[in-house]
Structure 1
């Protein structure tokens, strides 16, 4: 992305980002990601192509921004103060809350974009990077003899696998089951 969204954004910048976010999410609910053009995004957002390219490299870049904007809804600000044995559950719950709070949009998007398609590949990649970074910074390094990055990859992949199974592939799980499945899969490390 060409703008630093972690910096303080002007109202105009935020308004532009919101317009492209709304355009992408609306179009994803109507058609597959592969059928969405930059022209269509610009028309829906109400901005010229030049503005699009001032903010984003391409459609994939905008899609990644959309996931980033959605992820800011998750409350993962201070996992370091959470007890190490509860950090995976806290991460899992925050991500599940995010998916559940956007269930209607997710359902419409699922109807137009197959789980094995490029839109979900982008989403999985984003979730994996986010989960890895969150978990890598919160691992109790003294508990393990393995490298922290390797453990973070394992934890992030496991969290992603369970979320994918429950929310993207449509297997209905309770929160207790989400936690149980995750802990059972992680027992080899814990």
Structure 2
């Protein structure tokens, strides 16, 4: 997903580039808290960010590309643990906590965005794809390849989909769960392969 963007976010960014990315990130998140993603135009984004359209298109293909950048920027705010260093019995919990931390640390923004963008709409479809991509990559490190006869990719998909289901239920559908409950629900749903 990082390779689809015009800017290589894995390369060292200049201060000017980071300032421009931050301005467009702020513009997008501010507008998302005010209106539907479908109603946000590139012109509005440029006006809010304080940059001309040419600058926008130097950095992004379109609004969806900027939205992907926003998900990347938000995900970098969390403490993403090296799961290979974590005991295999705790890897799913650590990965789940990392993703839950991201949602909880952006709770006010999430609620403001939910007010204008329904969970079944295009904005949350984009978020779901981003989280699913990262969860699948993260969960691949959770799979104990010696315990299962199934392909590791299939098990990682199952883990990622289960974690996403629990996170969606807790954070997007408004169920109030403690961390212990998040862990318990996830493990109860995963028992078919654990």
Give the whole-Å Cα distance in 1 for the aligned partners of 2:53 and 2:12.
Answer: 24
1:172 equivalenced with 2:160 (yes/no): no
Query: Where do 1:25-40 residues align within 5 Å?
Result: 25-40=29-44
Give TM-score, length-normalised by structure 1: 0.98
**Mean Cα deviation higher: 20-29 or 77-86:** 77-86
Structure 2 counterparts to residues 1-190 of structure 1, below 5 A:
1-190=5-194
* Superposition deviation, residue 138 in structure 1: 3.7
CA distance in structure 1 between the partners assigned to 2:32 and 2:175 by the alignment: 22
Deviations 1:161-189 (A, max 9, x none): 10000001111111111001100110001
Give unpaired runs (5+ residues) of structure 2.
none
Any runs of at least 4 consecutive aligned residues in structure 1 with deviations exceeding 3 A, and if so which? none
* Alignment gaps of 5+ in structure 1: none
Partner Cα distance (1:65, 1:169) in 2: 24
| Alignment root-mean-square deviation, CA | 0.8
- Aligned partners of 1:57 and 1:42: how far apart in 2? 14
SS in structure 2 of the partner of residue 73 of structure 1:
coil
Cα shift readout 1:127-151 (whole Å, capped 9, x = no counterpart) = 0000001111342211111111101
